[in-house]
């Protein structure tokens, strides 16, 4: 951010800190704007509203800009959290696995009411006290936010995430691997046989789901039991309950309707001399710099 500060200095731009804008009024007679703040008022020929979204209010963006724009006649589309962790119904799993971070897993998010795959990804994820988070999950949430009737589907427990803890191994190869492990550990109890295969935090949950007696000797586990174990490791199901609140979202989905903004100049089609830039606009994207790029590009166009 130093580069922006340096450029502002070079161009002698006056920056007024700790100065909350409370209202922007268009003065049609003077053809300018009165910008009211908690401290002082400004008059300006042109105004750019770049107050960000509603997510992560600790960074200053608490949704103020939506009201400023609404008062000037603009439409704000529905504001929702995006790139946001997901809550799950299975509370016990959260408790058991909290803090577990996976580097090479795959996730599928499925609408069970239509047997439809909504999202699939490979990468990193994290178990938390409320559910799941991490890059893959955040990206998945961006797809869920846009999914038709999502609130209803979540309420009716129709959205499932299916995690594959061993995506590099096919079902056959994982079965072979477990058979080899069991052969090596044949006199051990089942509860002590998965340490080489799975992270410690996950083992109690997998054992529970497998319905194999944890005290059972590994060499007496049946083929069906083993195949069921493989299936659980490759298709670990969690029912998604909700999005975490907007305060925890990386980005806000929704904002000033793009229909009301000239995309070349970012000028309002409703109020001449008024411009928008950044997350306040109803545009959002994946992580990976795309949202920052939206802010920079729209800021550049509006500034010009």
Q: Is 65 in the site for ligand FAD (CB under 6 A)?
A: yes
Residue 225 near residue 68, CB atoms below 8 Å: no
Residue from 27, 41, 43, 60 binding ligand FAD (CB under 6 A): 60
DSSP H or E segment with residue 2:
helix 2-10
Q: Is 61 in the site for ligand FAD (CB under 6 A)?
A: yes
The piece of 72-80, 123-131, 201-209, 290-298 that touches ligand FAD (CB under 6 A) is 290-298
How many other CB atoms sit within 10 Å of the CB of residue 201? 14
Q: Which is nearer to ligand FAD, 65 or 81 (CB)?
A: 65
Q: Is 56 in the site for ligand FAD (CB under 6 A)?
A: yes
Residue 242 near residue 279, CB atoms below 8 Å: no
What residues contact 189, with CB distance under 8 A and at least 6 apart? 214, 215, 216, 217, 218
Count of residues in contact with ligand FAD, rule CB under 6 A = 21
Binding mask 13-42 vs ligand FAD (x if CB under 6 A, - otherwise)?
A: -------xx---------------------
The piece of 47-55, 116-124, 152-160, 170-178 that touches ligand FAD (CB under 6 A) is 47-55
Residue from 33, 35, 47, 52 binding ligand FAD (CB under 6 A): 52
What residues contact 155, with CB distance under 8 A and at least 6 apart? none
Q: Is 291 in the site for ligand FAD (CB under 6 A)?
A: yes
What is the closest distance, in whole angstroms, from the C-beta atom of residue 265 to ligand FAD in the complex?
A: 17
| Residue 270 DSSP one-character state | S
Alpha helices in 107-220 (DSSP H): 135-145, 150-155, 171-184, 203-210
Q: Which is nearer to ligand FAD, 69 or 202 (CB)?
A: 69
Residue with tokens 């166009």: 301
Q: Which is nearer to ligand FAD, 31 or 41 (CB)?
A: 41
Q: Which is nearer to ligand FAD, 62 or 217 (CB)?
A: 62
State the Cα–Cα distance between residues 164 and 116, nearest whole angstrom: 18
Residue from 251, 256, 261, 283 binding ligand FAD (CB under 6 A): 251
Q: Is 287 in the site for ligand FAD (CB under 6 A)?
A: yes
Residue from 24, 33, 47, 64 binding ligand FAD (CB under 6 A): 64
State the Cα–Cα distance between residues 226 and 172, nearest whole angstrom: 11
Q: Which is nearer to ligand FAD, 35 or 197 (CB)?
A: 35
Residue 206 near residue 232, CB atoms below 8 Å: yes
- Cβ-in-10-Å burial (0-12, 13-18, 19+) of 144 comes to buried
Q: Which residues bind ligand FAD (CB under 6 A)?
A: 20-21, 50-52, 56, 59-61, 64-65, 250-251, 278-279, 287, 289-292, 295
């Amino acid at each position: 951010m130093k580069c922006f500060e340096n450029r502002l200095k070079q161009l002698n731009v006056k920056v007024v800190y700790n100065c909350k804008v409370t209202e922007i009024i268009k003065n049609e007679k003077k053809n300018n704007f009165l910008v009211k703040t908690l401290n002082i008022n400004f008059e300006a020929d042109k105004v750019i509203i770049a107050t960000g979204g509603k997510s992560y209010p600790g960074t200053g963006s608490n949704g103020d800009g939506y009201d400023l724009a609404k008062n000037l006649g603009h439409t704000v589309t529905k504001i929702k959290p995006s790139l946001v962790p997901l809550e799950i119904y299975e509370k016990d799993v959260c408790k058991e696995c909290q803090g577990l971070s996976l580097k090479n897993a795959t996730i599928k998010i499925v609408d069970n009411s239509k047997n439809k795959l909504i999202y699939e990804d490979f990468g990193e994820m994290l178990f938390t006290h409320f559910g799941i988070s991490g890059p893959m999950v955040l990206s998945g949430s961006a797809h869920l936010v846009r999914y038709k009737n999502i609130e209803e589907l979540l309420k009716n427990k129709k959205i499932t995430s299916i995690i594959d803890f061993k995506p590099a191994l096919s079902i056959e190869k994982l079965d072979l691997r477990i058979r080899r492990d069991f052969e090596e550990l044949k006199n051990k109890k089942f509860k002590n046989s998965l340490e080489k295969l799975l992270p410690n935090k996950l083992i109690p949950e997998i054992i529970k789901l497998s319905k194999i007696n944890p005290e059972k000797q590994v060499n007496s586990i049946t083929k069906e039991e083993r195949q069921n174990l493989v299936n659980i490791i490759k298709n670990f199901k969690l029912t998604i309950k909700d999005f975490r609140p907007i305060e925890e979202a990386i980005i806000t989905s929704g904002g000033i309707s793009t229909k009301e903004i000239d995309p070349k100049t970012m000028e309002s089609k409703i109020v001449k001399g008024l411009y928008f830039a950044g997350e306040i606009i109803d545009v959002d994207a994946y992580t990976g710099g795309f949202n920052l790029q939206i802010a920079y590009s729209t800021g550049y166009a509006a500034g010009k």
